[in-house]
Structure 1
Amino acid sequence: MKEEEKEEREEELTETTRHLPTDVGEEIKDAYLSYAMSVIIGRALPDVRDGLKPV
Structure 2
Amino acid sequence: MELRQLEYVLTVAEELHFRRAAERMHVSQQSVGEQIRLERELGAALFARTASAWR
Fold match, TM over 0.5?
no
- TM-score normalised per structure 1: 0.28
More helix by share: 2
